Amino acid sequence: MAVPKDAVWERDPHTAAKHDLLKQYLEAWAPILLSRHDVITYAEGFAGAGVYKQGEPGSPVVAYEVFARALHRSPKRVRLVLMEEDPRRVEELQRQMALAQSRNREDIAARLSIDIEQGDFHPALLRKLQRTGRLGKPLFVLLDSFGGPDIPYSLLHELGRYRSTEVMVTFEPAFLTRFAERHDGHRQLGDEAFGSQEWQHVFRQPSSHKFTFLREQYRATLRQAGFTHTLYFEMVDEGGRKLYLIFGTQHERGLEKMKDAMWKVDPSYGIRYRDPRDTEQQMLDLVFEPDTAPLRRILHDFISEAPKGRTVPELQRYTLLETVYRPAQVITAVRQLRESGAVTTEPRAINTKTRVSAAATSPSAGPSAEQGALW
Ligand SMILES: C[S@@+](CC[C@H](N)C(=O)[O-])C[C@H]1O[C@@H](n2cnc3c(N)ncnc32)[C@H](O)[C@@H]1O
């Protein structure tokens, strides 16, 4: 998709998937945080117009509706802080947010404040969050540009200083792989986004590895900024253009909930969305079941390394932190491994008290761990 010029543009299927992911995650995030804090904040640096050509909601409206539903069950408050550069989009956004407010009860709208500002997101967004005392309190920041790179590392570093901040950034690798090698200005944009020049090793990578390399460099950048856990979600639009959503949190619970959201959006692999109109998509086998064969192999390797085996909670934590899979998928995987004769369990019932050991001679646990290597 070319960068749209109109104030309001057509929503792509991959944007719908992005909104679905955001909604699924915020539906988990909001009640957890509202149960412990009086005020939580949702901020966007690139808010858009709040609506698409056919009337579909933009991300600020998606978020607003999630929070409105959460506030029906909680007496607390939510603040939305929205920045957008284009004045035409700001005007539309104001209209859309007023409509969202009018669709909700007055007492809900009164506890769900909206602060819209027109202008360049940086450093205005950070200043506003500082000034209003939102840093250090529960805060989710969506930095959803057209792919950039346009998020300075210095901003991520400031946000990452606080344990209660989570970020989701849209990152498009093609700009840097295509243009930056021969263009000083573009290379400098890359340096500012990554906070170092390490990413420039991409120029020496084979073509097939360039995007993966940049994605992993960007995850490393988020970790360097303080977000100890990162996840990525890959989106491919109708023209085969790849965008990554990169999520950073300092909480294992946030990691778990984002994985749950990702597996809901992509029930087969948990990490990607491909536009059905993309011709490459049509060449891929359609998989309707979760592809958990790599998880079985990864777990089998992990169990085999421990002479006394592993407990189910150990396997679940390992799955959460080291794989694309979810802790909730572990019990089924262990059962399948036992059925194939690869492991034994003690006792037989598989629950949090079960210890899992490699069978004396284990048959192969499944196909290659290609998906594990995606991490
Ligand atoms: C991908 S769109 C946002 C879409 C929106 N988050 C959604 O999902 O509905 C990116 C938006 O960022 C705005 N933008 C671009 N550069 C900006 C900047 N430096 N500061 C603030 N907004 C910017 C664009 O005008 C555009 O509306």
| Ligand 1 atom closest to the CA of 147, numbered from 1 | 1
Residue 86: CB within 6 Å of ligand 1? yes
Q: How far is the CA of 216 from the centre of ligand 1 (A)?
A: 24
290 has pLDDT over 90: no
Residue 375: CB within 6 Å of ligand 1? no
Q: How far is the CA of 200 from the centre of ligand 1 (A)?
A: 26
**Which residue among 1, 44, 46, 237 has the greatest number of ligand 1 atoms within 8 angstroms of its CB, and so is best to mutate?**
46
Is the pTM higher than 0.75? The answer reads yes
**Which residue among 9, 84, 170 has the greatest number of ligand 1 atoms within 8 angstroms of its CB, and so is best to mutate?**
84
The structural domains of the chain, ordered by start, are: 13-283 (3.40.50.150), 293-374 (1.10.10)
pLDDT in tens, 15-35: 999 999 999 999 999 999 999
pLDDT in tens, 197-211: 999 999 999 999 999
147 has pLDDT over 60: yes
| Ligand 1 atom closest to the CA of 86, numbered from 1 | 25
Residue nearest to atom 9 of ligand 1 (CA): 58
Residue 216: CB within 6 Å of ligand 1? no
| Ligand 1 atom closest to the CA of 170, numbered from 1 | 1
Higher pLDDT pick, 61 / 272:
61
SS (H, E, C) the chain: CCCCCCCCCCCCHHHHHHHHHHHHHHHHHHHHHHCCCCEEEEEECCCCCCECCCCCECHHHHHHHHHHHHHHCCCCEEEEEEEECCHHHHHHHHHHHHHHHHCCCHHHHHCEEEEEEECCHHHHHHHHHHHCCCCCCCEEEEECCCCCCCCCHHHHHHHHCCCCEEEEEEECCHHHHHHCCCCHHHHHHHHHHHCCCHHHHHHHCCHHHHHHHHHHHHHHHHHHCCCCEEEEEEEECCCCCEEEEEEEECCHHHHHHHHHHHHHHCCCCCCEEECCCCHHHHHCCCCCCCCCHHHHHHHHHHHHCCCCCEEHHHHHHHHHHHCCCCHHHHHHHHHHHHHCCCEEEECCCCCCCCEEEECCCCCCCCCCCCCHHHC
**Which residue among 54, 93, 121, 145 has the greatest number of ligand 1 atoms within 8 angstroms of its CB, and so is best to mutate?**
145
Percent of the chain with pLDDT over 70: 92
pLDDT in tens, 51-106: 999 999 999 999 999 999 999 999 999 999 999 999 999 999 999 999 999 999 99
Q: What confidence score (pLDDT) does residue 55 get?
A: 98
pLDDT grade, residue 289 (50/70/90)? low
pLDDT grade, residue 277 (50/70/90)? low
pLDDT in tens, 169-192: 999 999 898 877 778 888 899 999
